[in-house]
Amino acid sequence: MASRSLPRRPAATALPADDSIPLHERVRYRGLLMVAIMSASIMQILDTTIANVAIPHMQSALGATGETVMWVLTSYILASAVAMPITGWLADRFGRRELFLAAIAGFIVTSMACGAAQSLEQMVVFRFLQGVSAAFIGPLSQSVMLDINPPERQARAMAIWGMGIMVGPIVGPLLGGWLTESANWRWVFYVNLPVGLVTLAMMWALLPATRTRERKFDLFGFSMLALGLAALQLMLDRGAHQDWFDSVEIWIECGVAVACLWMFAVHLFTARDPLFSRTMLADRNLVTAMGFMIVIGVVMFASMALLPPMLQTLFGWPVIDTGLALAVRGVGILASMWIAGQLVGRVDARWLVGTGLAVAAFSLWQMSHWSLEMGMRPVVVSGLVQGLGMGLIFIPLNTIAFATIDPKYRTDGSSLLNLFRSIGASVGISIVVTLLASNTQTSHEDLASHVTASTTSLIDASTADRFGVAGDTVLALVNAEINRQAAMVAYIDDFWLMMWMTLAAIPLVLLLRPPRPGAQAASVAEMGH
Q: How far apart are CA 100 and CA 95, in angstroms?
A: 9
Using an 8 Å Cβ cutoff, are 146 and 155 in contact? no
Closest alpha carbon to 161 in 408, 288, 28, 334: 334
Averaged pLDDT of the chain = 78
Helix (H) or strand (E) segment spanning residue 401? helix 377-401
Q: How far apart are CA 298 and CA 293, in angstroms?
A: 9
The model's pLDDT over 53-65, given as tens digits with 9 standing for 90+, comes to: 677 777 777 777 6
| CA dihedral over 366, 369, 371, 374, signed as positive or negative | negative
Q: How far apart are CA 42 and CA 364, in angstroms?
A: 26
Closest alpha carbon to 305 in 48, 43, 42: 48
The SS3 call for residue 426 is helix
Interior CA angle at 51 toward 45 and 56, to 5°? 165
Interior CA angle at 322 toward 439 and 444, to 5°? 20
pLDDT at 513: 78
The model's pLDDT over 259-286, given as tens digits with 9 standing for 90+, comes to: 999 998 898 888 888 888 888 888 888 8
The SS3 call for residue 215 is coil
With 90 as the cut, is the pLDDT of residue 308 above it? no
pLDDT at 259: 93
Which residues, listed in sequence order, are joined to residue 344 by a DSSP beta bridge?
Answer: 347
With 90 as the cut, is the pLDDT of residue 121 above it? no
For residue 514, the 8-state DSSP code is P
Q: How many CB atoms lie within 10 A of CB 241?
A: 13
For residue 26, the 8-state DSSP code is S
- Cβ contacts of residue 80 below 8 Å, gap of 6+? 131, 132, 134, 135, 422
Which residues, listed in sequence order, are joined to residue 347 by a DSSP beta bridge?
Answer: 344
Helix axes 410-448, 377-401, angle to 10 degrees: 150
Q: How far apart are CA 497 and CA 263, in angstroms?
A: 32
With 70 as the cut, is the pLDDT of residue 465 above it? no
Alpha helices in 248-376 (DSSP H): 248-270, 278-281, 284-313, 319-343, 349-367
With 50 as the cut, is the pLDDT of residue 18 above it? no
For residue 348, the 8-state DSSP code is -
